[in-house]
A and B are shown apart, each in its own frame.
Chain A
Amino acid sequence: MKTPPWDSLSPTTQDRVQCYLDGTITEDEFSRLQDEMAESSRLRRFVRRSITIDQFLSEESEKTASQNVFEPWLTNSPNKPSDGSTPILLSRFPKSPKLWPVALAAVLAFGFGLFLMSLRQDATAPKVASAPEFASSSPGLADGFAVMQKLLGTKWSGSTYQEGDALGAGTITLTSGLAQIQFYSGATMTIEGPAQIELKSAWEAYCYEGAVRMRVPPAARGFRLNAPDTQIIDLGTEFGMNVSDGQGHVEVFDGEIALSHRGGDKKILERGDTLQFNGSNSSPGQRQAPIHYPDADKFVKRVAEQENSGFQKWQQERDRIAGDKRIAAYFTFEKKDQFGLFPNLRDSSDYNLNAAPILAETVPGRWPHLKKAVEFRRPDARVRLHVDNDFEGFTFMSWVRIDSLDRDYNALFMADGYENGEPHWQIRRGGRMMLSVMVDDSRPSIYPNDVSGYHYVYFSPQMWHQKLSGQWLHLASTYDPVRAQVAHYVNGKRISLETIKPEWQPPQLKIGNCEIGNWGQANREDSKYAIRSINGSIGEITIFRQALPPQEIKSFYKRTRAK
């Protein structure tokens, strides 16, 4: 039997199929369409093909969307590369089949859908080129062997980096500023721009141009730093290397190094020794013109100064934000009151509004020496509070540092009972943000194995990947019953917008008792859903009584980010 051609169907039937696909079909018409389908295998065949076309177009759309969705907030730097070499951080299934069972077991611990999603992305992802940019050649954390530790006034050529970025093999081109890279071998490299450095492994790097200073602890002895025609093996020490137009200069600050030029015999250089090398020979350096090397200690000091000034700016913004009348709760977790509670900056004099940390620990925050954050490592860790009702909409906004998404659901802000009108703001394993509001807890859920009631989860696209582990992100989600819209934001940028369908409009919005960073008891019977503590820290969280527009979210992000 053949699939009937388009033209062989009556216009009425054509329309019914179209309206079914568009979701605009009336109940009557749908019932007629199904009556017709029950009678006609030809029509059923036609409907299957129509759905196939629909599905094909949706998949095409998904592909386009997933190509665009990652880039925007991975780099903040204005000189973003135009060649698209920014790392695209897709979740990948391990390339080695040996790791599959392990990954599979991990995935079965839950989140199969996202596992499937990762396979799907793998299938549609473009083949990785062998280009030297490690941005494109090392998509997964498994490939990383170093971390971008500290940056100071950096400008890049090509790929740009942020503190906390995991680094794999590839070349870094720093136009100006200072960068400190920590290799997993333990070696630390401080680079001053202009410089071009190629990272080869946790044990080896190549300096084409620029000044670097290496500090190599005993555990990293044997680290190799190469320059044109020259190889240095570090014997546990601190030394500097400067390469400019193929001319090199080495100076040992402490310990000793073994240096070999053009395959010649190794020379041992000790503390205070200097050596000059160029295309053809190497000779003990004369100290006529002092060579400048990045100073790791001064670097640390300047980073501290920068931190200090950034923190002060943030404090000013914090005080302004605290006066915003639309705020229901604003926590920055800097200090506790005499009962060990965090004050709600909306009105820090009203102790009824304060939040109680339970097993949640205070840890260094975005300005590690100056600002604290609250961490939820233990499965029972949480911060509890009460938020009084009177909501036109919801805005949840937070600076979050996610270490890993270990749970199926990783809680940000959760109303206790999840009763009618109450929100849940969380992140799904696999990195999609979720916002939902209970619509009717007396009716069954549309989701399989879900006992909570009739509600709809508004998902963002995947916005987090293991490679973002340890990075501070500004997350926001808004729930606007008036405009019937739900939006998710990362670093001030809207990443999704979805309509609240009439059947998902909840009754009056409320919160009441609620928790930051967890939900309910970890020892409930349905353990699959029970453990929701987020493995990471929350630096600050703000809840508004209405849905803020995109420009305001962006402005809050800009005002509160580390400068």
Chain B
Amino acid sequence: MSQDESKGAHDPPYEDFVRVFSTHEADLRRFIRSLLPSLTDADDVLQQTALVIWRKFDQYDPDTHFMKWACVIARFEALAYRRKIARDRLVFREDILELMAIEGAEELTERSAEYRALEICLKTMNSQQRKFLTLAYTSGVKVKELAAEAGVSAASYYMRLKRLRARLHKCIESKIPTLENPS
């Protein structure tokens, strides 16, 4: 067992860690996902980030904003990860990733508002549209197969996906104009 593993199995700060981390884990995952090409990548970085946060948890000042602190750690982890997968053509350039991370860390309230709005917006769609979206976002499902099953071409499949996304954008816009950050 390494040092990290053995530290503080009965140490109260680590209960705090679990409590704080589990509260923010979903937000952190979303934040990381906005920097990397896929959810799989995001989950790998989330795992690394969690470990770093765990190691540095004694440096965390409980009076400060946990997510701000966590986002900085996540940003560095994402950058490190980016170097490993730089070959992947969907990876942002380093400068863009930095900008996305720094600005994204300032928009956490907006993200939460968007999520709340999306939950409402999804309900305004009919069951067919919802099913389409659920399938489209199921990992491991091939667009070609889905399109063939629906009897349409891949292009019109993507078109439909685009229209539904546009609809969600507009729905969010209508739900949260007042929540936009005025700065």
Chain A residues within 8 Å of B, Cβ to Cβ:
1-3, 5-7, 14-15, 18, 20-25, 27, 30, 34, 37-38, 41, 44-45, 47-58, 60-61, 64-65, 93, 97, 100-102, 104-105, 108-109, 112-113, 116, 119-120, 123, 444-448, 496-499
User: Inside 8 A of B100's CB, which chain A residues have their CB?
Assistant: 44, 47-48
Q: Tell me the complex Cα distance, A555–B86, Å.
A: 44
User: Inside 8 A of B9's CB, which chain A residues have their CB?
Assistant: 101-102, 104-105
User: Inside 8 A of A97's CB, which chain B residues have their CB?
Assistant: 15, 19
Interface CB pairs A-B, < 8 A, 6: A18-B162, A44-B99, A57-B136, A100-B18, A444-B84, A447-B44
Q: B152 within 8 Å of A by Cβ?
A: no
Given contacts A61-B135, A499-B140, 12 further A-B contacts (CB under 8 A): A2-B177, A6-B166, A23-B37, A44-B99, A44-B103, A47-B100, A48-B107, A49-B114, A113-B43, A119-B22, A447-B44, A448-B81
Q: Tell me the complex Cα distance, A56–B48, Å.
A: 22
Chain B 152-181, CB-CB to A under 8 Å as 1, else 0, gives 000000100110011011101100010011
Chain B 34-47, CB-CB to A under 8 Å as 1, else 0, gives 10010100011011
The answer to whether A496 and B140 have CB atoms under 8 Å apart is yes
Q: Which residue of A7, A48, A93, A104 contacts B104 across the interface (Cβ within 8 Å)?
A: A48
The answer to whether A119 and B25 have CB atoms under 8 Å apart is yes
Q: Which residue of B4, B114, B134, B166 contacts A60 across the interface (Cβ within 8 Å)?
A: B134
Please give me the residue from chain A that is nearest to B104 by CB atom. Answer: A48
Closest 3 CB pairs of A and B: A105-B9, A6-B169, A498-B140
Q: Tell me the complex Cα distance, A64–B142, Å.
A: 18
The answer to whether A25 and B90 have CB atoms under 8 Å apart is yes
The answer to whether A5 and B18 have CB atoms under 8 Å apart is no
The answer to whether A3 and B180 have CB atoms under 8 Å apart is yes
Q: Tell me the complex Cα distance, A384–B135, Å.
A: 42
Q: Which residue of B43, B133, B169 contacts A49 across the interface (Cβ within 8 Å)?
A: B169
Known contacts A49-B172, A104-B14, A105-B9: A3-B110 contact under CB 8 Å: yes
Q: Tell me the complex Cα distance, A18–B115, Å.
A: 19
Please give me the residue from chain B that is nearest to A22 by CB atom. Answer: B158
Closest beta carbon of chain A to B84's beta carbon, Å: 6
Chain B 130-160, CB-CB to A under 8 Å as 1, else 0, gives 0001111111101100000000000000100
User: Inside 8 A of B26's CB, which chain A residues have their CB?
Assistant: 120, 123
Q: Tell me the complex Cα distance, A499–B170, Å.
A: 33
Q: Which residue of B22, B30, B48, B183 contacts A52 across the interface (Cβ within 8 Å)?
A: B30
User: Inside 8 A of A25's CB, which chain B residues have their CB?
Assistant: 90
The answer to whether A448 and B18 have CB atoms under 8 Å apart is no
The answer to whether B103 and A60 have CB atoms under 8 Å apart is no
The answer to whether B122 and A60 have CB atoms under 8 Å apart is yes
The answer to whether B142 and A48 have CB atoms under 8 Å apart is no
User: Inside 8 A of A47's CB, which chain B residues have their CB?
Assistant: 34, 100
The answer to whether A1 and B37 have CB atoms under 8 Å apart is no
Q: B73 within 8 Å of A by Cβ?
A: no
The answer to whether B137 and A61 have CB atoms under 8 Å apart is yes
Q: B72 within 8 Å of A by Cβ?
A: no
Please give me the residue from chain B that is nearest to A111 by CB atom. Answer: B47
User: Inside 8 A of A52's CB, which chain B residues have their CB?
Assistant: 30, 34, 111, 114-115, 118
Q: Tell me the complex Cα distance, A1–B183, Å.
A: 6
Q: B10 within 8 Å of A by Cβ?
A: yes
Q: Which residue of A5, A53, A108 contacts B165 across the interface (Cβ within 8 Å)?
A: A53
Q: Tell me the complex Cα distance, A55–B28, Å.
A: 12
Which B1-39 residues sit within 8 Å CB-CB of chain A? 1, 4-6, 8-11, 14-15, 17-19, 22, 25-26, 29-30, 33-34, 37, 39
Closest beta carbon of chain A to B99's beta carbon, Å: 6
Q: Which residue of B5, B133, B161, B168 contacts A22 across the interface (Cβ within 8 Å)?
A: B161
